[in-house]
Structure 1
Amino acid sequence: MKFSEQWLREWVNPANDTQALMDQITMAGLEVDGFEPVAGDFRGVVVGEVRSVAPHPDADKLRVCQVSDGSQDVQVVCGAPNVRDGLKVPFAVVGAVLPGDFKIKKAKLRGQPSEGMLCSASELGLSDDHEGLMELPEDAPTGEALDAYLGLNDVTIDVDLTPNRSDCLSIKGIAREVGVLNSLLVEEPDITPVEATHSEVPEIAVRAPEGCPRYLGRVLKNVDLSVPSPLWMQEKLRRCGVRSIDAAVDVTNYVMLELGQPMHAFDREEIEGGIVVRMAKANEKLVLLDGQEVELTADTLIIADHAKPIAIAGVMGGEHSGVSPKTRDLVLEAAYFDPITLAGKARHYGLHTDASHRFERGVDYKLAWDAMERATALLMEIIGGEPGEVVEVASKQDLPQERVIDLREQRVADVLGIEIDRTILEEILTRLGLHIDKLLKHGWRVHVPSFRPDISIEEDLIEEIGRIYGYNNLPVTEPTGSLGLRPQKEAVRPVSAIQNYFVDCGYQEAITYSFVDPKVQSLVNPEVDGIALANPISSDLSVMRTSLWSGLLKTVAYNQNRQQSRIRLFETGLKFRKNGDAIDQQPMLAGVVVGNQLPENWANGRRTADFFDVKGELEGLFRVLGIDIEFSSGQHPALHPGQTAELFRDGEAVGWLGALHPQVQKKLELNGTILMFELFLNSIVSGYVPNFKDISKFPEVRRDLAIIIGSDVGFADVERVAKKHAGDTLTALRAFDVYEGESLGEGNRSLALSLFWQHPERTLNEEEVHSLFNGVIDALKQELGATLRS
C-alpha cells in the first residue's frame, strides 16, 4: 500500500524523521518496499495568476499572456489549450529550475518576448498529465511558493504488507500502528451521523447472506457532479497512487484509503426497482466500468437490480450503473463481504482492484457505518446533495463472531525468552485495541477487536507483544527441548531406502507436478476421471494426476527432445481420486526406463533395456524390502498387451509393470521402447523382520526335473505349485533351461528345473528326497497339466 507521510502525520506525528519512521514500521512487520518524493525536484515556481490572454500575432496555436507573480506582471507566451483570464496556475519565473535541470530564461517565441513559463503537472513531476496547464483553486494566494502551498515536502511510502495484515491497508490502520510504537494518541477525524433530509430509501434484499452478512445503502439526492474534487483531496489520492476521476468516485476512494472500507456509488436512475445481493446466474453478462464484458459464473457474488447485474460484489461496478456528469441522485453502498466467498474472483475475471485487494484479505465488519457517514459528509461538502436514511440489511449469524483468547503470562515469557513487566504487557495490548476483559490469576482474558481478523490464538497475541516490544529488545536465546526417540516398526522400511536403491541402480529421482495435462492423463489412465482444478495455472496443468506416469512420460518427452537417449527415472508421490465428496490420496512409486540398459562405453554393448531387466530390478527391490511379490500377466490400457504384468502380494494387487502401448507412444511422440512400473507404496514398505538362522552343516541335495507344459502357463505358477509341495527343507528352486520347438507340439514349452533340499540338523536320506521330489511331479501334473519330458 502507498501512503503519504504528511497524511499519516495528520493522524499521528511522532518525533522520528522520515527514515527513522520507515525503519520503525519495517521492524514492526510492515516492510517498507520503497519511497519517493511526491513531486519532481524544482525551485522558483510560484502560484501565478493569468491577468489577460491575447492571440499571438504570428502563431495560431500560441497565446500572449500577462501573468502576475504576486509582485509584478510579466508577459508569457503559452500554447496550452486551457489558458484563460483569471486562471491560477503554477508559474516558473525567470531563473527557476524545473525537473531534469531545465532552467527558465528570458526568450522570444515567434517574435514575442516571454519571461517565464506556465506549467503542467507533468512538467513539475506531479503526474503524467500533460494535456494542459495545472489548474489551481481560485483562492490560491498569488506569489506563494508552489511547494509550500501544496505541501510538497512530502514522500510517498510503499509498504509491502503480508496478506494477514489487512488492517493496515488504510491511513487509520498504519496510524494505529505508529501510535502504538511511539506511545502516542491517534487523532481521528470526527465522524458524526448525517441527518436525513428526505424520506427516500433504497430497497435492499440480500439473498446470499453467507457471502454478504452486512449491506448498507443510502440515497443522496440533487448532487452536482460538475464540481471537481478539491485539490487537497486530489493530492492525497495522487500521493497514494490513485487517479482522480470525479467527486463521487474520489470520495469513495478517499474513504477507502483513510478508513479501509471500500465503497461504491451507483446512479439512482439506472437502478431498476431495488438492489439485490445474490449469486450470479449461469451465463449472465456484465459490462464493467473498464469497458470489459464478462460472463459471470454461478459462484460469483453480485450486486443486481430487479432486472440485471450492476456490479461484481467487492470487485468492480458495472458501466451501466456508474455515475456520470448527468447523475443527479446517488445510491451509496458500504458492505462487508465474506473473504472466502470473494477469494480468487477478481483474478478469475482478469481483474485486481483496490476493493478486491482489501475484501479478499478481510475488512473490519463493523466499519461500514462510519464509512457511510464519512463519505456522506464529504460528498455534501463538495457536491452538495440531500441525504436520506441509511438502510442496513444484516445477518448476525453470518457475521464474524467476536474472539476471546486467554493469554498466559508465563507462556509469553516462554515464547519470547524474556519476562516483560505485567504493566507493559497490559499497555501494549490496550494500545493495540485489544480489550482486557478480565484479569486472570496467571494472565488475561482478551477480546480481539473486529479490525484484527488475523488474531485467533494465544500465539498471535504473543507475536503482537514481541512485535511492539521490539524484536531488537528481545534477548538472543537458544531454544531447548527434550526430543524423545519415536518408536519405528522394524518391519516398515523408510521411503529413503527405496529411493537409495533406485539411485544405486542408476536411476535419477524426478519430482513432477501433481497437476497434469488432461490429454496425457486420458491416454495413461482413461478409466479414471481426473479432478479438475477450479483455477489452473495453465490448460496443460488443469487436472490432478491419477497416475505418476503422466508426469514421468512428459519428462521423458522433454529429455528426448534434447537428445537424451538413455533415461532412467523414478518418482515417489501422491495420486488423487474422487471418492464421493472426499479426495483419496495414495502414495505411489513409479518409474520409467528408456534406452540402453547400461551406459555406453568400451566394455558395454548397446543393448536396449527390456521387460526382464526392469523386472529383475524390481525383484531386487523386493528382496531389500523383504517381501514376496508375484508377477502375473495382465491387461492395462496404457501398456503393451503382450508385455504387461500385474503385481500381487498375498493375493492383493499392488502395481503394474510393462512396456508403453504403441498407440499411446505414437500419440505422445516418444521414441524407443518405454518400460514403466507403478506400485502402491503402502503395500510394499512393510516386510519381514530379519532374523538369524544357523548355517546348516549338512549336505545339500539337488534334483533336476524337465517338464512339458502349456505356453500359457507362467513360471510363477510352476514355482508356486512346486514350493507348495516341496516341503519345508526346500532351499532353492531355479529354472535353468526353456525350450520351444516343433517337436514339442504347438502351444507347448519345455522347462527344466533344479530343486535343492537341505536339513538344518541332519542329513536327508534318499527316501525323504525321493518322496518330496515325486510329490512335486504329481502336483505339477494334476494342477498345471504338466508331463515329464523323456
Structure 2
Amino acid sequence: MQFPESWLREFCNPPVNTEELARLLTMAGLEVEELRPVAPAFHGIVVAEIVEAEQHPNADRLRVCRVDAGPHSKDGPLQIVCGAPNARVGIKVPLAIVGAELPPGEDGKPFKIGTGKLRGVESFGMLCSARELKLSEDHGGLLELAADAPLGQDIREHLKLDDTLFTLKLTPNLAHCLSVYGVAREVSALTGSPLVEPNLQAVAQAHADVLPVSVQDSDLCGRFSGRIVRGVNPKAQTPAWMVERLARCGQRSVSPLVDISNYVMFELGRPSHIFDLDKIHGGLSVRWAKEGESLKLLNGNTVALDAQVGVIADDQAVESLAGIMGGDATAVSHDTRNIYIEAAFWWPKAVMGRSRRYNFSTDAGHRFERGVDPQGTVEHIERITRLVQEICGGEAGPIDDQQPAMPVREPVTLRVARACKVIGMPVTQAECASVFQRLGLPFVEGDGTLTVTPPSWRFDITLEEDLIEEVVRILGYERLPATPPLAPVTARVRSESQRAPFAVRHALAGLDYQETINFSFVEARWELELAGNAEPIKVLNPIAAPLSVMRTSLLGSLIQVLKYNLARKAPRVRVFELGRVFLRDASVQDTDHSVAGVHQPLRVSGLAYGPAAAPQWAQADKAVDFFDVKGDIEALLAPRKATFVAAEHPAMHPGRCAAVQLDGATIGHIGELHPKWRQGYELPQAPVLFELDLAAVQKRELPAAQGVPRQQLIQRDLALVVADKVTHDALMGTLRDDPLVRAAWLFDVYKPAQPTADIAAGERSLAVRLELLDDSSTLTEERIDAAVVSAVARVQAAHGARLRA
C-alpha cells in the first residue's frame, strides 16, 4: 500500500513529523516498509513561460528561447538555448536559473547551473525535462506545466514535491487500512487528532433510468448497487492533481473514467467498475459462472470459467469477473457516452484465490478477498458520480441498491481481567473503553467486560484475542514491562519405544542414502502408473500445470530425482525421502491438524541405482539388487525382525517385489521397478525401491537383560536339497521349530547347470547352519544328533527336503 503523506494529512493531520508518524504506524502494527521523498534534492528551479522561440543560427536541433520567469527576470526575458522538440511559445516549463542545482547524477554530485555559450549563443539557465529533475523517466521533451502556474514560483512548491511516499506492509487482517482514509482513521485513533470525513453528499438526479439487475447467488454477492450516468465526455482531461496522486500511489493514468474509479479505490478502499452502458445487452445478472463460459478481460487475456468463479453477465454473455476485473466487451472508451457505475459487496471467500487461478492479481481482488465495507456502496457511488460530473459532465439517475445477504457481525466480549493476563500489564476497563471509542468500535459495558459489535469495515474482529490486540497496540507496545516469562518449562520426553523421525533419517544416511525433499503435489501420470490411483486429489491452483495432484506415494518423486541425476551423469544414486502422502478417507474429520476426507500419513521411501558400493580395489563392481536393499531395510528395522512375502505393487516388477511385514502386518513394499515403467521413464536399468509406513518404522523394541549362556553353543551344517518353489522363510521357520534350535541361517546356494545324480532338474541345494543350545545342561552327541535328525525329518515332511548325498 503506497500513498503520499500529504493526502493522508488531508484526512488527519497529527502534530508529529514524518519520521514520528512512520514510527507510530509501525508500532501500531501498520509496518512502514519504506519512506521515500517524492523528488530528490534540488533548488533554484522556477516556473517560466516561453515568450519567444527562434531557430539557432548555428545548429539545426537547437532553439533560442526567451522566457519570462516573473521576479527572476527583472531585466526582461532570459535567453535560454534549448534542444527540446516541444520548446514552443506559450507553454510554461521548469527553468533552472543561474546558480540552481539539479539532482545529483551518477557520481552523486549535484549539477550546478551557470552562464554558458552553446554554438556561439549565450544561455542564462536551463529549461528542464521531467527526467532531468528525476521526477520520471520521460525524456521526450520539456516538462509542461499547467497554464495557470504562477510565474517565478518555486517548482517544488508548485508541484508539491516536498512530500514523502509511505509504503505500508500490511498483514491480511488489516483490510480496513487498504485506503488513505482507512490509514487516516487509524492515525486519528492513535493520536487523538480529528478525522476529516470525505465529501459523500448525494448529487442531483436528472433522469429516472435504472438498469435491471438480478442477484442470483447471494453466497457470491451480498450487496449490489449501481447508477446510470448519461452524456459523459470520456475525452476530457484527467486533472493534474488526480494524475499526480495516482502516480504517487503507483498507478498510471489511463483515462478520466478509469482514473476516477482507481482514485476512489485508493481514497476510500472501495473497488468499483464503470461499464459502457450502450454495450450492455438487456440487464445484468450476478451469478456463479457456468461450465464452458469464457471472458476476454481488460488485460487482453481470455479466461475459461467454471462454477467456482463469480461473474456479472448480461443477456448475451459474461461481462465481468466478479470482484477482480472487468471485461473488454463493455469497457469504456473515447466513444462512450453513457455509463453504468457499479459498486458491490463480494463475499471474501467468493473472491479468495480466484486471481491465482488465472496467474494474475489485481488491486480490486486484493481488497475484496480480505473484506470491503458492505455499508458504503451507495455513498461511494455518490463520490464517484460527483467526480465524473466535475471532470466529464453527465446527468445522473437514481441508485439501484439491492441487499440480498448483508453480513451479520456477531458481538465479541472482552474480559478485562483476561486482557491484563494476556497483555502482561494492568489495564483498566476505562482504558479499554477509551481504545474502543477512539477506534470507532461500538460497545456495551458490563461488570468487568466490554461487548463490542464489530463495525462493517472490521472483518478481522471475531475473537476476544482480536480485541486484546486492539487494546495493546493503541495503548502502545512501549508500555509493556520487560518481565521474563513465568510459565514452567516441561520437557516432552519421547518414549524410548519410539524413534524420532530424525533418528530414521540418521539411520538411512548411515546406510549411504542421501535425503531429498520434494513437492507434495506431483504429476497425475505418476499417480496412475506408480500408485495405481486413477482419481487422486486435485490441486485447485497448481504452481505448474504438471504438478496438478496430491501424491499417494513417494516413489514418483524419487524416480524424478533419479532422472535428474542421471541427466547429469551420476553413475550411482541412493536417495530417500520422508514425507506425507494424501489418501482419500471419509472417516477423517476437519480439525486444526486434519482436512475432512483426507488421511495424511507419513511415509519413508528409498531408491538405489547403479553399483551396490562405491568403486574400490578390493572387490569387483556389482549392480545393486533386491537383496542389497532388503538388507538395508533389515538394518533400518533392527532389532525387529521383518518378514518379506512375495506380493504385487503397481510400480514394481511382478516377480521381484515383496511386502514388508512386522508382527504379521504389512508396513510397505520393496522391489525392482516394473520393466514397463523403466522403459517408459527411459532408465538405462531398473532401480530398486522401497516405501514403508513411518509410524511402523519408528517403533522399536526395548532391550531386555538376559544372562550369558553357561552352556556351550553347538553348530551343525546341513546341505538340504529342496524344490525351487520352496521359499527360504518357510524352510527356516520349519528348522527353528525346536526348543534346542536357537538360530538357523542360509550361507550357500548351489544349483548345477545340468541335473546331477543327487540334484534333479527344478531342485537346488541349500547350505544351512544350525545353532543348538540348552541353557540347563550340556548337549551330548546323542542329543545333538537327535536334534539334527529331527530337523531333517521336519523339513522332509513339510517341504520334501532331503540331505544331499
- Per the normalisation by structure 2, the TM-score is 0.87
Indicate the SS of the match to 1:379.
helix
Which residue does the alignment assign to 1:681?
Answer: 694
State which of 211, 230, 233 in structure 2 corresponds to 1:221.
230
Structure 2 matches for 1:96-135, cutoff 5 A?
96-100=100-104, 101=110, 119-131=128-140, 133-135=142-144
Tell me, in whole angstroms, the C-alpha distance in 2 between the residues paired with 1:275 and 1:119: 51
Q: How far apart are residue 265 of structure 1 and its match? A: 1.1
State which of 383, 386, 392 in structure 2 corresponds to 1:377.
386
C-alpha contact (below 8 Å) 1:696/1:761 kept by paired residues? no
Confirm or deny that 1:633 pairs with 2:646: yes
Tell me, in whole angstroms, the C-alpha distance in 1 between the residues paired with 2:728 and 2:467: 68
Which residue does the alignment assign to 1:554?
Answer: 560
State which of 710, 714, 717 in structure 1 corresponds to 2:730.
717
Which residue does the alignment assign to 1:323?
Answer: 332
Q: Deviations for 1:601-620, whole angstroms, at most 9, x for unmatched residues?
A: 55565444432222222223
C-alpha contact (below 8 Å) 1:285/1:295 kept by paired residues? yes
Which amino acid in the other structure matches residue 481 of structure 1? A
Which residue does the alignment assign to 1:475?
Answer: 481
Confirm or deny that 1:731 pairs with 2:742: yes
Which amino acid in the other structure matches residue 509 of structure 1? E
Which residue does the alignment assign to 2:460?
Answer: 454
Which residue does the alignment assign to 1:365?
Answer: 374
Tell me, in whole angstroms, the C-alpha distance in 1 between the residues paired with 2:418 and 2:66: 74
Which amino acid in the other structure matches residue 592 of structure 1? L
C-alpha contact (below 8 Å) 1:428/1:465 kept by paired residues? yes
C-alpha contact (below 8 Å) 2:674/2:686 kept by paired residues? no
Which amino acid in the other structure matches residue 164 of structure 1? N
C-alpha contact (below 8 Å) 1:314/1:356 kept by paired residues? yes
C-alpha contact (below 8 Å) 1:695/1:760 kept by paired residues? no
State which of 663, 670, 673 in structure 2 corresponds to 1:657.
670
C-alpha contact (below 8 Å) 2:356/2:541 kept by paired residues? no
Which residue does the alignment assign to 1:740?
Answer: 751
Which residue does the alignment assign to 2:576?
Answer: 570
Which amino acid in the other structure matches residue 508 of structure 1? Q
Q: How far apart are residue 194 of structure 1 and its match? A: 3.0
Indicate the SS of the match to 1:272.
coil
| Range with greater deviation from structure 2 (73-82 or 122-131) | 73-82
| Range with greater deviation from structure 2 (101-110 or 631-640) | 101-110
Which residue does the alignment assign to 1:193?
Answer: 202
Confirm or deny that 1:147 pairs with 2:160: no
Q: 1:86 to 1:788 in 2, by over 3 A?
A: same
Which residue does the alignment assign to 1:44?
Answer: 44
Q: How far apart are residue 42 of structure 1 and its match? A: 3.7
Q: Deviations for 1:1-30, whole angstroms, at most 9, x for unmatched residues?
A: 111011111112222222222222223232
Which residue does the alignment assign to 1:211?
Answer: 220
| Range with greater deviation from structure 2 (112-121 or 449-458) | 112-121
Tell me, in whole angstroms, the C-alpha distance in 2 between the residues paired with 1:740 and 1:439: 92
Query: How many percent identity over aligned positions?
Result: 40
Indicate the SS of the match to 1:124.
coil
Tell me, in whole angstroms, the C-alpha distance in 1 between the residues paired with 2:684 and 2:84: 70
Indicate the SS of the match to 1:198.
coil
- Per the normalisation by structure 1, the TM-score is 0.89
Q: 1:293 to 1:688 in 2, by over 3 A?
A: closer
Which residue does the alignment assign to 1:623?
Answer: 638
Q: 1:349 to 1:500 in 2, by over 3 A?
A: closer
Which residue does the alignment assign to 2:434?
Answer: 427
Tell me, in whole angstroms, the C-alpha distance in 2 between the residues paired with 1:737 and 1:44: 99
Confirm or deny that 1:404 pairs with 2:399: no
Indicate the SS of the match to 2:460.
coil
Q: How far apart are residue 81 of structure 1 and its match? A: 6.9
C-alpha contact (below 8 Å) 2:229/2:338 kept by paired residues? yes
Which amino acid in the other structure matches residue 669 of structure 2? W
Q: Deviations for 1:119-142, whole angstroms, at most 9, x for unmatched residues?
A: 544443333444555444444333
Q: Deviations for 1:22-63, whole angstroms, at most 9, x for unmatched residues?
A: 222223232222232223444333333455778889999887
Which residue does the alignment assign to 2:660?
Answer: 647
Tell me, in whole angstroms, the C-alpha distance in 2 between the residues paired with 1:305 and 1:63: 57
Indicate the SS of the match to 1:388.
strand
C-alpha contact (below 8 Å) 1:229/1:382 kept by paired residues? yes
Tell me, in whole angstroms, the C-alpha distance in 2 between the residues paired with 1:631 and 1:394: 67
Structure 2 matches for 1:81-92, cutoff 5 A?
87-92=91-96
Tell me, in whole angstroms, the C-alpha distance in 1 between the residues paired with 2:779 and 2:479: 82
Tell me, in whole angstroms, the C-alpha distance in 2 between the residues paired with 1:603 and 1:769: 39
Q: 1:663 to 1:400 in 2, by over 3 A?
A: same
C-alpha contact (below 8 Å) 2:25/2:32 kept by paired residues? yes
Structure 2 matches for 1:488-503, cutoff 5 A?
491-503=497-509
Tell me, in whole angstroms, the C-alpha distance in 2 between the residues paired with 1:533 and 1:699: 64
Which amino acid in the other structure matches residue 24 of structure 1? L
Which residue does the alignment assign to 2:590?
Answer: none
Which residue does the alignment assign to 1:535?
Answer: 541
C-alpha contact (below 8 Å) 1:59/1:110 kept by paired residues? yes
| Range with greater deviation from structure 2 (454-463 or 113-122) | 113-122
How many residues align? The count is 783
Indicate the SS of the match to 1:460.
helix
Which amino acid in the other structure matches residue 513 of structure 2? Y
Indicate the SS of the match to 1:591.
strand
Which residue does the alignment assign to 1:332?
Answer: 341
Q: Deviations for 1:724-771, whole angstroms, at most 9, x for unmatched residues?
A: xx2455422223443323122111122344444544445678998888
- Alpha-carbon RMSD: 3.5
Which residue does the alignment assign to 1:32?
Answer: 32
Indicate the SS of the match to 1:390.
strand
Tell me, in whole angstroms, the C-alpha distance in 1 between the residues paired with 2:301 and 2:125: 45
Q: Which runs of 5+ in 2 are unaligned?
A: 105-109, 587-595
C-alpha contact (below 8 Å) 2:219/2:347 kept by paired residues? yes
Indicate the SS of the match to 1:553.
helix
State which of 264, 268, 278 in structure 2 corresponds to 1:255.
264
Which residue does the alignment assign to 1:20?
Answer: 20
C-alpha contact (below 8 Å) 1:598/1:604 kept by paired residues? no
Q: 1:27 to 1:210 in 2, by over 3 A?
A: same
Q: Which runs of 5+ in 1 are unaligned?
A: none
Which residue does the alignment assign to 1:614?
Answer: 629
